[in-house]
């Protein structure tokens, strides 16, 4: 593939600093706005988990928050997949 075509297909990586649960993370991404949105979701989940948890351990809060996000994702995925499977059966 010619060099110009490679450059056109590759998005520019940008350094973005996001704050999650009081910690700054410097990350590289080709979608900075999307990364910021994800960081907001994770930060909110960790803060919500911290209010409910009986611990101040950031690692435990992160794991509990990740489990909650994974639960929401799996439920949404199931809600999406079931109608698609029904359509495929027809």
Span 18-48, pLDDT tens digits: 999 999 999 999 999 999 999 999 999 999 9
Cβ–Cβ under 8 Å, residues 69 and 42: yes
CA distance 30 to 53: 35
H or E stretch covering 24: strand 23-29
Q: Which of 19, 61, 16 is nearest to 40 (CA)?
A: 19
User: Residue ranges of the domains in the chain?
Assistant: 12-89
| Predicted model pTM | 0.76
pLDDT in tens, 50-80: 999 989 999 999 999 999 999 999 999 999 8
């Amino acid at each position: 593939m010619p060099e110009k075509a490679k450059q056109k297909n590759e998005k520019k990586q940008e350094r973005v600093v996001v704050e999650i649960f009081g910690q700054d993370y410097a990350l590289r991404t080709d979608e900075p706005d999307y990364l910021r949105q994800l960081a907001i979701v994770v930060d909110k989940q960790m803060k919500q988990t911290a209010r409910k948890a009986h611990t101040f351990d950031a690692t435990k809060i992160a794991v509990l928050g990740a489990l909650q996000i994974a639960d929401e994702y799996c439920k949404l995925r199931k809600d999406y997949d079931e109608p698609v499977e029904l359509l495929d059966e027809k």
